[in-house]
Chain A
Amino acid sequence: MAKTTLKKVHGYLAEFESAVDVYHASEQIRDAGFSRWDVHTPYPVHGLNEAMGVKRSILPWFVFFGGATGTTTAFSLAFITQVLIYPTIVQAKPTNIFTTPAFFPIMFELTILFSAFTTLFGCFALMGLPRWNHPLFASKQFKKFSDDTFIVCIEARDPKFHQAETKAFLEQVGGKNIELVEDEL
């Protein structure tokens, strides 16, 4: 496909000088009802989740069912092979449902393994990873977030986004160097 010179708006970037500033700005952005936006900080800021109004992730539910699948898989694997298909009799111990303790180690391990995989890949899926590039990487000032600057980005896909009003709003909450980031189509 031929490249075009057309671009689409990704969103607005605004710089803040301190964690306090970005914290209070986040509270105002949250209260204004934005949903598609994020804060980029050089280090974790305690309480920022609450200030941003971030909801609890649904990842734990994935992990729960991932882990349960692991337990079931391990139990079936051991029970079907060791009891149903080929009963393994050791030291005259019976092979039936009451020998389940012998299967506990493998049930434990597979529960952990499946939970860990679900956590990792579920996390990737929810974050939209892996991907080749991100529109924000086009911005020169964005790089400073990993050094000494706190950056807020309100994305254009937010239903409340407005080219003029959102910019004014970011200025009003104290944002500096507000930049319109565009993405190549």
Chain B
Amino acid sequence: MELSKVSKLNGIFLGVGALGLLISACYMFGLLGEQRQKEFAYSWLFAFFFFFTITNGGLFWTMLQHISNSGWSVAVRRFFENLAGNIRVMAVFALPLIFFSPFKNALWEWIVAHQDAAAAAGGDTLKGLEEASHTNHHLHILVAKFGYLNIPFWTLRAVLYFVFLGGMATLLRRWSIKQDGDGDFKHSFRARAFCAFPLLFYALAVTFSAVDWVMSMDYTWFSTMWGVYIFAGGAWSSMALSIIALSYVRSHGYLKKIVSMEHYHLMGKLLFAFTVFWAYIAFSQFFLIWYANITEETRFFILRNTNNWWYLSNILVWGHFVLTFVLLLSAGRKKKPDSIVWVCAWVLIMHFADIYWLIIPERAPSLSHGTVLWYDGAWWGDLAAFLGIGGIVGWAYLRRLATASLYPCRDPRLLESVKAVN
């Protein structure tokens, strides 16, 4: 693809991204006050996590297509490979979360508790926590979780997630592009063999990154559905984004003879499958907690059913699942690029709402120690962080699309893919 053909959109991405990051930097370094800086930590986590889940989804689809040796998807595989390539950009955006103390202290109360305990006990965090738990009984749970939830291991895990996910994305894309040059079959076999075992580690990385960064915002809460819930949303929205990217590229005259309406139909079916899968997981998570009615668990949903968050919860039920389900039922709509693109845009909006719903309700109760539920005006920070990260990620994605062929042009299964019928 010629980068010049998409230079207008790419320029908009870069401009919006740069402006967003500039405003984000003002928030981040406290130019707008310490309170806004703390609020912005949540904005940054929200924006980061939104794009992180989509990027992970791209890696999931790439690996799944290799491991299942799927023939039909060869023509569109590079969209997922390029999407997964964003993981390196996401690693840069993760740095403030992992290493910037004001953000860490604002987001994760357990980190503050650990630091206080270490200071009180002269560096022995566990001993300090045990002593402090005699007066603050909430801290018992941090003593019990210490083997997993401690700052050095937490930091090491964050590094490992990015090394693993970035390594997989880079290697798979590199082999795929190498095959464009030499046409050697061994790249296909190697990629397939290479994906088998690491798929397990992919699942672990996605699950525990979600646990480490989002679930541990409230260290007393836990849910065993958490990892698969995050994964379902990520795979879903990355499929939607890839359909939009595919349509955008086709509108510039590329891939006209490679990608047919059959591919749209197949991708639409996967989108549909994950619509149902997400709803299944989301409802299971809600249902188990609602049914059991245990104090430690219900807090998550009580908070999200209080005041105006109740409306957002309902938007997720009716918009994330019901409406998308109905829209995607029709085979004809999935085969029409003009209409499926709008459904995919809706999917991305709903994923936005989903991640917002996961992270932002924690902000005001955490920072105000439960006295208020909502900070007025904090959403400007959400917007700045979203546009900043989104603009740069979109810019990097478009540039990466242009660096190699838009489809694996010498993959041995390419003809099978072009002629795919379902």
Residue numbers of A with Cβ under 8 A of B are: 46-47, 91, 93, 101-102, 104-105
Q: Residues of A contacting B286 with CB < 8 Å?
A: 101
B99 at the interface (CB under 8 A from A): no
Q: Residues of A contacting B421 with CB < 8 Å?
A: 46-47
Residue of A nearest to B287 (CB): A101
Q: Residues of B contacting A102 with CB < 8 Å?
A: 291
Given A46-B421, A47-B421, A104 contacting B287 (CB threshold 8 A): yes
**Complex CA–CA separation, A91 to B291 (angstroms):** 9
Given A46-B421, A47-B421, A93 contacting B293 (CB threshold 8 A): yes
> Smallest distance from the beta carbon of A56 to chain B beta carbons, Å?
9
What size tier do the contact residues of chain B reach?
under 10
**Complex CA–CA separation, A91 to B286 (angstroms):** 16
The 7 A-B pairs at the shortest CB distance, nearest first, are namely: A91-B293, A46-B421, A101-B287, A101-B290, A104-B283, A101-B286, A104-B287
Residue of A nearest to B280 (CB): A108
Can you list 11 A-B contacts (CB < 8 A)?
A46-B421, A47-B421, A91-B293, A93-B293, A101-B283, A101-B286, A101-B287, A101-B290, A102-B291, A104-B283, A104-B287
How many A-B pairs with Cβ below 8 Å? 12
Q: Residues of B contacting A101 with CB < 8 Å?
A: 283, 286-287, 290
> Smallest distance from the beta carbon of B146 to chain A beta carbons, Å?
32
Q: Residues of B contacting A91 with CB < 8 Å?
A: 293
Q: Residues of B contacting A104 with CB < 8 Å?
A: 283, 287
**Complex CA–CA separation, A61 to B333 (angstroms):** 17
Query: 1/0 contact trace for B37-51 toward A, CB 8 Å?
Result: 000000000000000
Starting from the known contacts A47-B421, A102-B291, A105-B287, 9 additional A-B residue pairs (CB-CB under 8 Å) come to A46-B421, A91-B293, A93-B293, A101-B283, A101-B286, A101-B287, A101-B290, A104-B283, A104-B287
Residue of A nearest to B283 (CB): A104
Residue of A nearest to B292 (CB): A91
> Smallest distance from the beta carbon of B326 to chain A beta carbons, Å?
11
> Smallest distance from the beta carbon of B262 to chain A beta carbons, Å?
11
**Complex CA–CA separation, A47 to B293 (angstroms):** 54
**Complex CA–CA separation, A69 to B291 (angstroms):** 26
> Smallest distance from the beta carbon of B354 to chain A beta carbons, Å?
18
**Complex CA–CA separation, A105 to B283 (angstroms):** 10
**Complex CA–CA separation, A46 to B421 (angstroms):** 8
> Smallest distance from the beta carbon of B232 to chain A beta carbons, Å?
17
> Smallest distance from the beta carbon of B418 to chain A beta carbons, Å?
15
> Smallest distance from the beta carbon of A109 to chain B beta carbons, Å?
13
**Complex CA–CA separation, A105 to B290 (angstroms):** 14
102-138 of chain B: CB within 8 A of chain A: none
